[in-house]
Amino acid sequence: MKYILPVSIWIIIMILPAGCKKDEFNWGENVGDITYSGNVVFLGDKELALLKEVTANRIVFTEKAGEIEKITDMSILVIGVSQKTPYGLLRKVNSIQTNGAEIAITTTDALLADAIKEGTIQFQKKLLEKDFKLKSKTDGVLVKGLDKSFDGLAVTLDNFEIFKDGTKITRLNGAIGISPEIDITIIIKSNKLIGINLITTLNKIDEVTVSSNGAFNGSKEIVAAEFIHSPVIINSLVFVPVVKIICGFNGIVSSEVTCGVRQDRIITSELNYVNSIWSESPLTSSESHDFTVPQVTDNSELKIFSGPEITLNLFGIPVQTVKVTGYYSLLAQKTASPFWRLLIGSDGQNSVKSDILGLSADFNSNIIIQASEIANANGRK
């Protein structure tokens, strides 16, 4: 019996270091409110200076230095922002090859829960004009604000052409503005996504006048301008919002027409994901409007729409896309009384993308404000 205690102690001493090493590997590194998995390798400015090539499934460095030396075929790479990685990258390593000093890594996109063991991710931001840069715009679009009190993105439509058939031309004039506020919370436990809350508030201005020198018909949606936000880095996660300003028409007009409407709307959409089930809170909305009396002499069933499409990217992969277009409809019938009617409303969708979140499918929630009549040939409603 006198040998039992020393042997037992010796076995415990041998087991404890192995247990501690395993737990240390699994637990990983804390960054703010997030605990990353133990196989995550962070690549920052020093490593990105050695970046030679990036494709959808391959990363090449000119030499193996800094944190690059820690990369194995089991690693998850959290890559920061650089000229070659403007959105950052989240990649899972498949294999590693060396060619002289160079190191080539084949990769696939990783899920958020591959990289994060525990933590709460929160992106809460009002998107301001000063933080965006113009990516592209169409002829007839001027990039300037509505006024100094509006701090969101705004474009001016200056004889913006939406239809042409010979000498018949239809143009839009006016201004489109959007000031979005995005609040997203993502909760991960034990490398599993367990909860999401998204609150999106859109402060929108759509002031658009359509004018045509003749009859026209059809349907067209045009990206008038596209803007990209500067990267927002939260606990090593790279978020980049992108905003497109959209406008267009749908329908038919049997004569020359001029008509203009301004809508100022504030819309809030909230989505929740708990226990693998999505739910939607009731949509909230407020609006004010004004219009110019339509000039039309024949039948019309015309819809003019404008508004934003906002995509929030995480490591270059969409997490959420919100598209909301305000519209007005000019309905005219020569045999009807009143002869014309003018209606306003809003169409849209709030979509959560499944790819980087590891969900089974995307989730789409409608953002619809039913059309209401604001005026007719007999006067204002």
- Domain assignment present for residue 38? The answer is yes
The reply to whether 216 and 318 lie within a common domain is: yes
The reply to whether 195 and 227 lie within a common domain is: yes
- Domain assignment present for residue 352? The answer is yes
Mean pLDDT rounded to a whole number for the chain:
92
Burial of 191 (0-12, 13-18, 19+ CB in 10 A): middle
Q: What is the pLDDT of residue 10?
A: 42
- Domain assignment present for residue 141? The answer is yes
Q: What's the CA gap between 225 and 25, in Å, rounded?
A: 47
Q: pLDDT category, 140, cuts 50, 70, 90?
A: very high
| Amino acid at position 172, single letter | L
Of 88, 110, 132, the last residue of a domain is 110
Residue recorded with tokens 């009384």: 337
Q: What is the pLDDT of residue 82?
A: 97
- Domain assignment present for residue 332? The answer is yes
For residue 15, pLDDT over 50 is answered with no
- Considering only CA atoms, which of 179, 373, 154 is closest in space to residue 267? 179
CA angle 355, 359, 363 (to 5 degrees): 90
Percent of the residues in the chain that have a pLDDT greater than 90, as a whole number: 89
The reply to whether 252 and 167 lie within a common domain is: yes
For residue 175, pLDDT over 70 is answered with yes
CA angle 159, 296, 327 (to 5 degrees): 60
For residue 26, pLDDT over 60 is answered with no
Compute φ and ψ for 16, nearest 5 degrees. -60, -45
The reply to whether 348 and 296 lie within a common domain is: yes
The reply to whether 51 and 180 lie within a common domain is: no
The reply to whether 83 and 135 lie within a common domain is: no
Task: Tell me what the mean pLDDT of segment 62-74 comes to.
Answer: 96
- Domain assignment present for residue 288? The answer is yes
The reply to whether 99 and 141 lie within a common domain is: no
- Joined together, the tokens standing for residue 148 give 């100094």
Extract the runs of DSSP E, i.e. beta strands, from 213-339.
216-229, 232-234, 237-253, 257-274, 277-280, 284-296, 300-314, 317-332
**Domain containing residue 192:** 121-380
CA angle 74, 75, 77 (to 5 degrees): 155
- Domain assignment present for residue 116? The answer is no
Q: What is the pLDDT of residue 379?
A: 85
Q: Which residues contact 273 (CB under 8 A, 6 or more apart)?
A: 195, 196, 197, 279, 352, 359, 363
Residue of higher predicted confidence among 338 and 3: 338
Q: What is the pLDDT of residue 147?
A: 61
- Domain assignment present for residue 127? The answer is yes
Task: Tell me what the mean pLDDT of segment 360-376 comes to.
Answer: 97
The reply to whether 198 and 64 lie within a common domain is: no
Of 110, 130, 159, the last residue of a domain is 110
For residue 148, pLDDT over 90 is answered with no
Contact indicator for 308, 244 with CB cutoff of 8 Å: yes
The reply to whether 106 and 149 lie within a common domain is: no
Percent of the residues in the chain that have a pLDDT greater than 70, as a whole number: 91
- Domain assignment present for residue 115? The answer is no
Compute φ and ψ for 94, nearest 5 degrees. -100, -45
Residue 53, strand partner residues? 60
Task: Tell me what the mean pLDDT of segment 7-15 comes to.
Answer: 41
- Joined together, the tokens standing for residue 353 give 């993308």
Q: How many domains does the chain have?
A: 2
Of 110, 139, 163, the last residue of a domain is 110
Strand 232-234 to 237-253 pairing: antiparallel
The reply to whether 58 and 155 lie within a common domain is: no
Task: Tell me what the mean pLDDT of segment 173-182 comes to.
Answer: 97
Q: What are 210-266's pLDDT values in tens digits?
A: 999 999 999 999 999 999 999 999 999 999 999 999 999 999 999 999 999 999 999
Task: Tell me what the mean pLDDT of segment 186-201 comes to.
Answer: 97
Q: What is the pLDDT of residue 150?
A: 78
The reply to whether 259 and 216 lie within a common domain is: yes
Q: What are 292-334's pLDDT values in tens digits?
A: 999 999 999 999 999 999 999 999 999 999 999 999 999 999 9
The reply to whether 215 and 359 lie within a common domain is: yes
